[in-house]
Each structure stands twice: as C-alpha cells, then as structure tokens.
Amino acid sequence: MSTKRWIRCRGVSGFLVLSLCMVASRMLAGQGAAPTKEQADDAAGFKEFSSRLQAYLKVQKTVESSLPALKSTDLPELITAYEQALARKIREARPHAKAGDIFTPAAREAFRHASRAALEGPHSANSRAYMQPGAPTPSMRLAVNGIYPDTEPITALPPELLAAFPPLPAEVAYRVVGRTLIVIDVKSQLVVDIARLILPPAS
C-alpha cells in the first residue's frame, strides 16, 4: 500500500473513530448513570450512519483517484468539467443508490433527536434566524445521485447543530433544505443521501 493511500485510509478510519468517540462522549456527558435506551439507540444509529458513509467514501476515493486532481485554476470551465466528471463516475459506481442507504432508519432517528436538541429550546429562534432567510427553496427537487442545484443558496448551519451531528471528513458535508437533511459530495455537488423530516418544524 502506498504511503499516500495509507494516509487516506487512516484519515477515513480516524474519522470513524472520532465520530464514534464524539457520539459516545455526548451520550455520556454529564451523566453518572448508564445511557438511556434512546441514547444507546442513537449511538447505534450514528454508528450505522458512519459505517455506511465510510463505505461511500471508499467508492468516492477510488473514483476520485481515477481523475486528475482538481487544482486551483483561472479557468472555471475546468472546475465545472471536474465536478461533472466526478459526479458521472460516482453515479456509475453506485447506480442503485437510493434514499436511506446511509441515513438508515436508526440513523434518521438519531439525527432527529440531535436536531431537536440543538434547535428546540430557548435559543431556537436565533438558530432559525441564522438559517433563514437566504436559504434554498424548501420545495426544490432533490434526488440521490442528483446535483444540488447550482442556483440555489445553501442554508448556513448553526454551529450547535453541526456539533450535535457526527463530524464528517472534508469530502462530504451536511446540507439542510427545509426540514430535510442531506449529505452532499463536496467536490461534485452530488447528493449522496437524503433524509426527510429530520429537522423539527419551525415554530
């Protein structure tokens, strides 16, 4: 195994270990007692999410390594061409990808609980104000293996919400559209998975 590849693998494994540690520590934070059933279930849900995501990242890495690296360029055409080529190859590598492959039912429940904890409470109005307006149209069409629309803005995610979710490696990121949570592939802008009705409704 080449050094570069070994570092990459270590990076992804490190992300998984870090995710699980963070989730576990969050579950146990401030508690002398064992976690409740809901906390244990959420930890298991996040674990499942992280391991499914790691499987995606393996595919993504393989595909990306088959393309020339994207470097800073004066030519935006090259950026667009790279995005399109990467998206096409990822789609080819996971033609049957569908919503819920990564956001499993247990993971969705865990994200729902984490979102509620971060967005419901005395400061929820502040968080909502940060996310809205300037956010994308809630009715915009989203599909796994589709592209996050070029002309839509993105929702700024409150730090508290991001801290409540498992951390992601640089290749992917969370996006929110209305109450829907998405994981996108950052370089291709491809929608990796979608989980609807995760965020609590704005009051």
d(CA 41, CA 47): 10
> Is 4 a residue that touches other proteins (CB under 8 A)?
no
Which residue in the set 127, 171, 178, 195 belongs to the binding site for other proteins (CB under 8 A)?
Answer: 127
Task: Write out the two tokens for 31.
Answer: 């508690």
Q: Does a cis peptide bond (omega within 30 degrees of 0) precede residue 169?
A: no
Is the Cβ of residue 105 or residue 134 nearer to other proteins in the bound state?
A: 134
Which residue in the set 32, 68, 76, 95 belongs to the binding site for other proteins (CB under 8 A)?
Answer: 76
Task: Write out the two tokens for 94.
Answer: 């996971």
CB of 17 to other proteins, least distance (A): 15
> Is 140 a residue that touches other proteins (CB under 8 A)?
no
Is the Cβ of residue 36 or residue 126 nearer to other proteins in the bound state?
A: 126
Partnered with residue 176 across adjacent β-strands are 181
CB of 1 to other proteins, least distance (A): 25
Residue 109 to residues 27, 41, 73, 175: CA-CA distances in angstroms? Answer: 15, 9, 42, 17
Strand order in the sheet with 172-177: 172-177, 180-185, 190-195
Positions touching other proteins (CB under 8 A) are: 70-77, 79-80, 83, 123, 126-127, 129-130, 133-135, 150-151, 153-160, 162-163, 167-168, 173-174, 186-187, 189
